[in-house]
Amino acid sequence: MNEFHPSRLRERAVRARWVLAVAFLVLVGAFFRTQILQVDRYRLRAENNRLRQVPLQPARGTVFDRNERVIAETVPGFSVALLASSTDSLRQILKRFRSVVPLDSADVEAVVDRYLQARYQPALVLGNATRAQVAMLEEHRAILPGLVIQSEPRRVYPRGTAVAHLVGYVNEVSQAELEGGRYAGARLGSVVGRAGLEQEYDDSLRGAPGMRYIEVDARGRLVREQGAAPPLPSVPGHALHTTIDLDLQLYVDSIWPKGQAGALIAMTPKGEIRALYSTPAYDPNSFIGGISRAELRRLTTDPTLPLLNRALQVRYPPGSPFKLATAAMALKRGLVDLHTHMPQGCGGGMQFGNRYFRCWKKTGHGSLDLLGAVAQSCDVYFYQLGLRIQLANILSDGVTMGFQERTHVDLVNEAAPIWPATTEYYDRRYGPRGWSNSVVLNLSIGQGENTQTLVNMVRFYAALAGDGKAPTPYVVRPDTVQSFDLGLNASQLDGLRRSLIAVVEHGTAARSRLQEFAVAGKTGTAQNADKDRDHGWFIAFAPAEKPEIVVGAIFEFGGHGSEVAPYVVRSIRRYLLGPDSTGGDRPRRITLPGDPTGAPVERSDSAGPAPAPPVPLLPETR
């Protein structure tokens, strides 16, 4: 009965009121904290659950040639992505997607991989969708939940394969590259440069991505694409102005013999690259929006290696064009002058130790001075010249002249030449007594343990064409690396140029001589491991009296250098005289050094002997 006593009931009622009051105050405090003090935090959390980020790709900077003509530009395009709540859901949507727009099974797996890397972003399906594909997808939007279509800038290369190895291509950055910090400032979905100028100057061309937002429901299904939140605009990349002459680049592409692998570089004596061409090539437009797995597999398994930049990434035996380096070494050391004859005239070959080293001309050239030996490419003369210089000095001078180092051209993936620094190289390779001084004979004519890139040989000839100082080749801006000096005086340089003029006027490149101006150049036929398939070289500059352009080309397994010469000379004429130039066939008569008659001579570029097998050590010849 006491439990229901009025005083006890009042006491309980008071306690209940206090409990309710405290509970009310706690709730009021919680609501105040949530609604007033932490409103921004919870609003952001709600927004994050409601909104999904969609990256906005920036427009890459336009790449121009020296005359403001477009090499690479950005145009409007479309991308298609899918938003899904789970992997299984995404696969189901992709199954319906493939009934509208065909997709390779490998491409489907690529979409799933993108989804797994960023589950809260739409997974890219088509990076470069056509208007027809967009129209078909819009018609079937009802069966494709989570379909996100947006307009995005797309990279375009109007000149296609003609500029492929020069400009490179772009593609989406990978997760591994992001983790490795290869592309600073990039994020998942960013489009980055992969080769050529696109990769070398990616940080300038790329720009900064923006962001827009789409709204989803509690299950992650798309509610609306536009107006969910204010977008953050992207920042376009900077334009890139190059030294390239696009007219010359396209002209080289138009005259290049079909099916002939090789490369050509045109450069001023100061190092400004006017054209850089390599073939076989690829179409950089194939990579826009992401290349298909099937197309990438085709490119990477193609035996012609279309992705390989033969101007920078392939090393070839330099052959006879290297004889000018041997001549420069001897002149610099004061071992000969321009009119020095060797003790042994050329009778078609020379005996050294237990081997007979041939000259390209079986009947021989007789006795020649240095100018005549260059003009007629006499192997026997240069065999003896190399022995006079001696191996250690040839190797040392070769290093000084840059034949062991990259040129540091402002393009990615340049290969380093192969050139021994000292005689220790031969000791390591053949053993201390496993080689002889016969290696000098091979090196002196551009064979043996000597392989060079085209860009490196063109740089050497730019030194001959200029003041004897080799420039650093560049397309946008030069590297600060110090280059080399041939160490020749003006008279010596002039003499070597005159011998190179004779090559074109009366020698191995006589069929390519011009009426309008004199061309100085050197042909070469370089042997390689496949002795039946020689590489053809020709490097030239013009006008010979005051050079404005240096052009070098190589035909891979292309035979004799005389077959390369017409393409180089035609490129020189095009650059100097313009697209309306016409070439004459009537040559000016220039006396060939060592041949007072000035009469044309038969083919005189040297194939030279193949690298000699090790023979017993012989004493140094002095």
**pLDDT of 144-158, one tens digit each?**
988 888 888 999 999
pLDDT at position 364 is 93
Query: Is pLDDT above 90 for 449?
Result: yes
CA–chain centroid gap for 262, Å, is 14
Query: Is pLDDT above 90 for 29?
Result: no
Measured over the CA atoms of residue 276, residue 278, residue 284 and residue 290, the dihedral's sign is negative
**pLDDT of 313-342, one tens digit each?**
999 999 999 999 999 999 999 999 999 999
**pLDDT of 173-209, one tens digit each?**
888 888 888 888 888 778 899 999 999 999 999 998 8
Measured over the CA atoms of residue 568, residue 569, residue 575 and residue 576, the dihedral's sign is positive
Neighbours of 568 (CB within 10 A): 29
Query: Is pLDDT above 60 for 115?
Result: yes
Q: At what angle do helices 105-117 and 293-301 cross, to 10 degrees?
A: 110
**pLDDT of 46-75, one tens digit each?**
455 567 777 788 999 999 999 999 999 999
pLDDT range class, residue 619, cuts 50, 70, 90? very low
134 burial type by CB count under 10 A (0-12 exposed, 13-18 middle, 19+ buried)? middle
Q: Give the integer Cα–Cα distance in Å for 535 and 525.
A: 6
pLDDT at position 161 is 96
- Averaged over 212-229, what is the pLDDT? 62
pLDDT range class, residue 219, cuts 50, 70, 90? low
Q: Give the integer Cα–Cα distance in Å for 362 and 344.
A: 15
Question: Which CATH architecture best describes the domain 320-577?
Answer: 3-Layer(aba) Sandwich (3.40)
CA–chain centroid gap for 245, Å, is 17
Neighbours of 598 (CB within 10 A): 12
pLDDT range class, residue 614, cuts 50, 70, 90? very low
Query: Is pLDDT above 70 for 140?
Result: yes
pLDDT at position 598 is 36
pLDDT range class, residue 617, cuts 50, 70, 90? very low
Q: Give the integer Cα–Cα distance in Å for 289 and 124.
A: 10
Q: Give the integer Cα–Cα distance in Å for 201 and 409.
A: 13
112 Cβ neighbours under 8 A, 6+ residues apart: 87, 90, 91, 94, 123
Q: What is the separation, in whole angstroms, between the first and last Cα of the chain?
A: 134
Q: Give the integer Cα–Cα distance in Å for 254 and 252.
A: 5
Cα three-residue angle 574-580-581, rounded to 5 degrees: 55
pLDDT at position 301 is 94
Pairing status of strand 240-241 against strand 63-64: parallel
- Averaged over 492-518, what is the pLDDT? 88
pLDDT at position 39 is 57
Average pLDDT, the chain: 85
Q: Give the integer Cα–Cα distance in Å for 306 and 360.
A: 33
Residue 489 corresponds to which tokens in the numbers above? 């005086």
- Which neighbouring-strand residues pair with 81? 124, 148
Q: At what angle do helices 105-117 and 87-100 cross, to 10 degrees?
A: 140
Query: Is pLDDT above 80 for 41?
Result: no
Alpha-carbon distances of 43 from 215, 229, 230, rounded to whole Å: 15, 13, 15
Could you state, in order of their start, the residue ranges of all structural domains in the chain? Answer: 52-241, 320-577
Query: Is pLDDT above 70 for 225?
Result: no
- Averaged over 455-473, what is the pLDDT? 96
Q: Give the integer Cα–Cα distance in Å for 194 and 288.
A: 12
Query: Is pLDDT above 60 for 82?
Result: yes
Q: Which of 33-42, 180-189, 434-443, 532-541 has the lowest mean pLDDT?
A: 33-42
Q: Which of 191-200, 397-406, 420-429, 530-539 has the lowest mean pLDDT?
A: 530-539
Q: Which of 20-29, 237-246, 332-341, 392-401 has the lowest mean pLDDT?
A: 20-29
Neighbours of 579 (CB within 10 A): 8
Torsions phi, psi for 377 (to 5 deg): 55, 50
DSSP symbols for 493-523: HHHHHHHHHHHHHTSTTGGG--SSS--EEEE
Q: Give the integer Cα–Cα distance in Å for 257 and 556.
A: 12
Query: Please, are residues 500 and 486 in contact by the beta-carbon 8 Å criterion?
Result: no
Q: Do domains 52-241 and 320-577 have the same CATH topology?
A: no
DSSP state of 34: I
52-241 fold: Penicillin-binding protein 2a (Domain 2) (3.90.1310)
> Quick one: CA torsion of 303, 309, 312, 316, rounded to 10 degrees?
30
pLDDT at position 38 is 59
